[in-house]
Amino acid sequence: MSDTMQIWDPRRAAVSAHLDIASALLPLKDSEILSLAIGAGDIAPAIAVAVKSATVTVLETEGATDDPPPLSNLTYKAGDADRIPAEDESFDIVIVNGLLSRIPEDRRSPALREIRRVLRPGGLAYIAEPTPGGAFNEISRVFKDEKQDRLATFELVRGTVSSGAMVLVEQKFFQMSVVIPDFAAVERGYVPPDARISGAQKSEARKKFERHVGPKGAAFQIPMRIDLLRKSD
């Protein structure tokens, strides 16, 4: 089934909210969920607010969200994606939002193995990655061109499916609408942790960002792909 996987399909990519996509694809009600996210991409707090019966744990990695909301069904723990501090078969769902392409290449395969380890039999891995292209990519690539990392991550996930380690349930493509209030928010949440930024880079990115600024901030549609995988029973 891995030979049918695509990195991007614009014909199937309607504009959608990320929470709506996750809610449609995942059985969130009464589930124990682990979220592995980096920067501004974490949707776990929104899931915890929307689905009170879900128990959500966020693994805080470098660049994780600051000041988490005080919710009884939302817990934050420190750790790394390739060394998840949890027992085997602890979660029904693992959400991996924009993380795999951001961590060093030698940690990606161990991270996928860890995701599989902590999933219960039949559990779901919801792997979300931005795909190359789009107006916001033209800004972010000033700091670091992540095209090769995203391509390599796609091939790694496809290899996981072809090896039989995980089963492909579905791929979903969408354009995620994002409004970023100012350039400072870009620096806080969207710059790769390992990027070394010069003054010239910052100036170039700011100019590109300001072309999109309106009364409420800068609006973008970020192309996204979801690879929904299942751990065999």
Task: Please say whether the beta carbons of 171 and 227 come within 8 A.
Answer: yes
pLDDT for residue 70: 81
Q: What is the CATH class of 2-230?
A: alpha beta
pLDDT for residue 61: 72
Please report, for the chain, the start and end positions of each structural domain, with discontinuous segments joined by +: 2-230
pLDDT for residue 132: 84
At 195, the pLDDT band (50, 70, 90 cuts) reads confident
pLDDT for residue 192: 76
Q: d(Cα 77, Cα 57) in Å, to the nearest integer?
A: 7
Task: Please say whether the beta carbons of 131 and 176 come within 8 A.
Answer: no
Q: How high is the mean pLDDT of the chain?
A: 92
- Mean pLDDT along residues 6-29: 95
- Between 77 and 233, the more confident residue is 77
Q: d(Cα 10, Cα 126) in Å, to the nearest integer?
A: 20
Q: d(Cα 229, Cα 36) in Å, to the nearest integer?
A: 15
Residue 12 scores a pLDDT above 60: yes
pLDDT digits (tens, 9 = 90+) for 115-151: 999 999 999 999 999 998 899 999 999 998 999 999 9
pLDDT for residue 39: 62
Q: d(Cα 128, Cα 28) in Å, to the nearest integer?
A: 16
- Mean pLDDT along residues 94-99: 94
